[in-house]
Amino acid sequence: MSTTDHRELESAIPEHLRKPGLCPFRSSAEPPPYPTYVARFSKDINQVVMCYLGIQLRPEGNRKALKAAAISVEELVSLASGPLYVDQAKGVDGDEYETHIFALFWDSVMAYQHWCASDLVQGWWESNQREEDGVGYFKEVFMPKIDFFETHYATPEFQSLGNLADAMSGEIKEHAYWGAMRHRIPAAQYDSLASVGLPSVVSKHDNAKRKLVVPHDYMCLIRSGQNWENADQTEIALYQKVILPSLVQGMGYLSEQGLEIGCYSNRFVTLLCEDGYIARQSYGLSYWSGLDALEKWASSHQTHLKIFAAAQEYMSKLGSEARLTTYHEVAVMAADEQYFEYINCHPSTGLLQLA
């Protein structure tokens, strides 16, 4: 028997969030076939903030205005009260609009609110110029409590939200079986996480250029990322041949037809380096009617099963030599832990397509 059969496994749920008699566990005596990890957050963190601040430009739009908007956002996020971690990404949506997204992360709601309420940030966001410069803006904010989200990493390296954590776990046991995602969410020990209601779109202060989306309880977010920065050219070629086609197909389905299975919005974007050049990283960002809809797609829909099969083929060829790393972060939130505002955006942007 190999030494990996005796490796120590941790629960994805940290000890201080476990509920006696309720904490999920693997029913199989067999260990997972490969290691994965989760981020360990300080016990002092009760809630986190993920703010996706985006700007978009129509195909024939003024690129100088887009660049000026991006520079303004960069200045705002660099304020002392700004986010603890930031990444930037670009993509082109189904309407051919270029989209530049700033993903901003805080470890407390109060810190985020302090930044939003600052004269510079509030003045810039509320300015009439946002409605008149030919650029679209959106702010999609998620504030899940610590026991209502989970992280999952193929390697013990911080990504995205994980950059707020204190440490990385050892190898975990809740993975490599359908349902593991739910089992990594601490609240699932005592809550069904069933979504309630439907979202609606309204105008802000009767201003047709500013739209708010009123969310419902237990909407679900997933950010699923791919990082091939450390891969050599041979592995990159394999990634582009084996995984990328099915990934692009799956992301395209969610973006164009996802509503029929409960996916309210999906974007597939490429991360940017600090110097603005394209990085060897990407992520899909999806908003769902609830965790159950996401689980059903992941476990049974042909588009995700193709992605899963491609990943298995990829790993079977490279095994421990693979340098591609993947991750995802999933959160479920009450209605008052979400905020969506869109300024001058086209009707299919984010949750506006629900109107």
Q: Residue 3: what pLDDT?
A: 43
| Total count of domains within the chain | 1
Q: Residue 8: what pLDDT?
A: 87
Predicted TM-score (pTM) of the model is 0.95
In a domain, 9, yes or no: no
| Regions of the chain short of the pLDDT cut 50 | 1-4
In a domain, 298, yes or no: yes
In a domain, 4, yes or no: no
Confirm if 306 and 250 have CB atoms less than 8 A apart.
Answer: yes
Q: Residue 4: what pLDDT?
A: 46
- Taken as a whole, the chain contains a residue count of 355
Q: Please report which residue ranges of the chain form alpha helices under DSSP H.
A: 63-77, 109-117, 119-126, 129-132, 180-183, 233-242, 244-257, 291-300, 302-318
In a domain, 35, yes or no: no
Rounded Cα gap, residues 101 and 290, in angstroms: 23
pLDDT tens digit sequence for 81-137: 999 999 999 999 999 999 999 999 999 999 999 999 999 999 999 999 999 999 999
Structure tokens at 321: 């030599």
What does each C-alpha distance from 258 to 25, 61, 217, 347 come to in angstroms? Answer: 31, 28, 20, 16
Sign, CA dihedral 200-131-123-141, equals: positive
Q: Which of 65, 66, 342 is CA-nearest to residue 209?
A: 342
In a domain, 280, yes or no: yes
Rounded Cα gap, residues 242 and 136, in angstroms: 35
Catalytic residue positions, numbered: 328
In a domain, 15, yes or no: no
Angle ∠(231,233,235) on CA atoms, nearest 5? 55
Structural domain including 313 reads 49-144+195-354
In a domain, 28, yes or no: no
Q: Residue 26: what pLDDT?
A: 57
Q: Which of 153, 164, 146, 55 is CA-nearest to residue 107?
A: 164
Q: Residue 25: what pLDDT?
A: 59
Domain with residue 300: its CATH number is 3.30.70.100
Q: Residue 1: what pLDDT?
A: 37
In a domain, 34, yes or no: no
Q: What share of the chain is helix, strand, coil (3-state, %, to 5)?
A: 35, 30, 35
